[in-house]
Structure 1
Amino acid sequence: MTVRGPRIHLAAELIAGGEVVLPEGPARHVARVLRLGTGAPLRLFDGNGNEACAVLVEAERKRVVARIESVTEGLGESPLAVHLGQAISKGDRMDYAIQKAVELGVAAITPLYTEHGDVRLKGDREAKKLAHWQAVAASACEQCGRATLPPVHPPMALADWLALRNEALRLVLHPGTPGALERQDTPASAALLIGPEGGLSAAEVANAQAASFDALTLGPRILRTETAPVVALALLQDRFGDF
């Protein structure tokens, strides 16, 4: 597929020859920020692995319509499906962790409530934060070229997340025995657990190890909670993925 025009996530079926109306956010970006007019090229992806070349056929302030010229299977997915369990952090740290995890090929993300974590979300606040995180993931996909949008699952307690894990390789970032990545086989899936700024409690680490998580050490320096997934995912992609 020829790389041209802005790349936009569109949660709709992409059919060659069909027309799609862009949602308010992307439409405003195309018409008011980029100031593109009729005939301008776009690249669309549906988040389910499909990508399309399209052209604007209507570009008004309140309505932007694109005609899909061709649809192809998207690229950019890693052979290693990593589910990231990320302790929720304050401010833009969580946004950074999600953005970089998507760029590094993560397959799914679950925000986690942990013992030392100082963020607790309830009701509408949790729903709004989840929608925000999903938008961060979509924006990262637009930038990095992925056509499959990894889900950001609703936040859950760490113990509940651990109980659901069945990935072939399970790792918890914690000082432990070196060699957690020195495997002879290549796993198809992995779970990666990242604790909060204050770290995981001894009980949480023990619970993770009881759920078949191996402790992974990333050197002698303590990494911030938003830096740790970047380093760990890069190592996983280099060892078992597509780096």
Structure 2
Amino acid sequence: MPRFHCLHPLREGDLIDLPDGAARHVQVLRLQPGAAITLFDGEGGEYDAVVERMGRSDVRVQVGAHHAIEREAPRAVHLAAGMPANERMDWLVEKATELGVASIQPLLTQRTVLRLAGDRAAKKQAHWQAIAVAACEQCGRNRVPIVHPVAEFSRWVIAPRDLPVNVVMSLAPGSTPLGAHARGADAVLALSGPEGGLSAAEESEALANGFAAITLGSRVLRAETASLALLAALTVEFR
């Protein structure tokens, strides 16, 4: 059944006009009055709904029963990633959402190829947030992960944080297996670098600010692969 995200809170029995993006999607699918759909507002669970009217640019639906269904990962994993270049960041946001990421922090690091600031950074953030919404619609999640504004690594890494476990991907000697840090944790902040990884200075700065250096093995992974491998390990293993 087609699933659509609504920005405003939903209630059983409401007759509402879908947000523009969802309305366009309904029209692209050529759904007709009487068609059954699923709606979610990000506050938990999902709602049955029925298309009542199709206008030229608007779609009205009747909200039905609420179902307290959650499909979240067993622990909250917050991913901070040095942005990979080109469309790879789009792909990373999509797949991280499917894997159950709780939030995504795009970072500008010394080796980041994609340099963003000002209006361009804000537009990219909105673009990535829309990708996260679409991924939730596709994969069945009812809670949309937050894509934070692009941040400079040097400022972000020293900011206070209250997550119990903070880990950084590293190929340096002495890095320990992920399970040694994450097993039993309810929430984890996972840091991964861009193409070429974090610089030695950035990695040292992360370690000085409470991050533990971890390894997933001896292979050198692409930036987006490393982030997703780390996320998959945290959302599936070491419970």
Identify the TM-score tier after normalising by the shorter chain: over 0.9
Which residue matches 1:193?
Answer: 191
2:37 maps to which of 42, 56, 61: 42
Question: What secondary structure sits across from 2:74 in the alignment?
Answer: coil
Does residue 144 in structure 1 map to residue 142 in structure 2?
no
Q: Structure 1 residues 196 and 228, CA, compared in 2 at 3 Å: closer, same or farther? A: same
Hey, what does 1:21 align to over in structure 2?
A: 17
- Look up the match of 1:115: 110
Contact 2:105 2:149 in 1 (8 A): yes
Flag structure 1 segments of 5+ consecutive residues without an equivalent. none
* 1:141 CA displacement: 0.6
2:125 to 130, 135, 139: 130
Code of the residue aligned with 1:211 in structure 2: it is N
Match of 2:65 among 63, 70, 73: 70
Instruction: State, as a whole percentage, how many aligned pairs show the same letter.
Output: 44
SS state of the match for residue 182, structure 1? helix
Shift of 1:121: 1.4
Q: Is the 8 A contact 2:77 2:235 kept in 1?
A: no
Whether the 8 Å contact between 2:102 and 2:145 is mirrored in structure 1 is yes
Corresponding residue for 1:8? 4
Structure 2: 5+ residue runs without aligned partners?
A: none
CA shift at 1:115, angstroms? Answer: 0.9
Provide closer, same or farther for how the CA distance between residues 185 and 100 of structure 1 changes in structure 2, counting only shifts above 3 A.
Answer: closer
For residue 234 of structure 1, the aligned residue among 226, 232, 239 is 232
The whole-number CA distance in structure 2 between the counterparts of 1:44 and 1:184 is 34
Instruction: Tell me the SS of whatever aligns to 1:121.
Output: coil
> How far off is 1:36 after superposition?
0.7
**1:161 pairs with 2:156:** yes
Instruction: Give the TM-score, by structure 1 length.
Output: 0.92
Whole-Å Cα distance in 1 between the matches of residues 81 and 177 of structure 2?
A: 22
Farther off after superposition, 86-95 or 163-172: 163-172
Q: Distance in 2 between matches of 1:95 and 1:109?
A: 12
Q: 4+ residue stretches of structure 1 with deviation over 3 A? A: none
Does the 8 Å contact 2:183/2:238 carry over to 1?
no
CA distance, structure 1, for counterparts of residue 19 and residue 70 of structure 2: 24
Once residues 240 and 12 of structure 1 are traced to their aligned partners in structure 2, the CA distance between those partners, rounded to angstroms, is 36
Indicate if the aligned counterparts of 2:178 and 2:214 stay in contact, CA closer than 8 A: yes
2:215 equivalent among 214, 217, 222:
217
Which secondary structure does the structure 2 equivalent of 1:159 belong to?
helix
- Over aligned residues, Cα RMSD in angstroms? 1.6
Q: Secondary structure at the match of 2:149?
A: coil
What's the offset of the Cα at 1:29? Answer: 1.7
Matching residue's letter, 1:215: A
Separation in structure 1 between the aligned mates of residue 177 and residue 214 of structure 2, nearest angstrom? 8
Q: Distance in 2 between matches of 1:116 and 1:14?
A: 43
CA–CA distance in structure 1, aligned partners of residues 84 and 33 of structure 2: 43
- Aligned to 1:129, the other structure's residue is in SS state helix
Alignment of 1:91-110 (within 5 A): 91-110=86-105
For 1:214, give the aligned amino acid. A
Give, as a single letter, the amino acid of the residue that structure 2 aligns with 1:28: R
Deviation track 1:108-137 (CA, whole Å, cap 9, x = no partner) reads: 111001011122212211111110000011
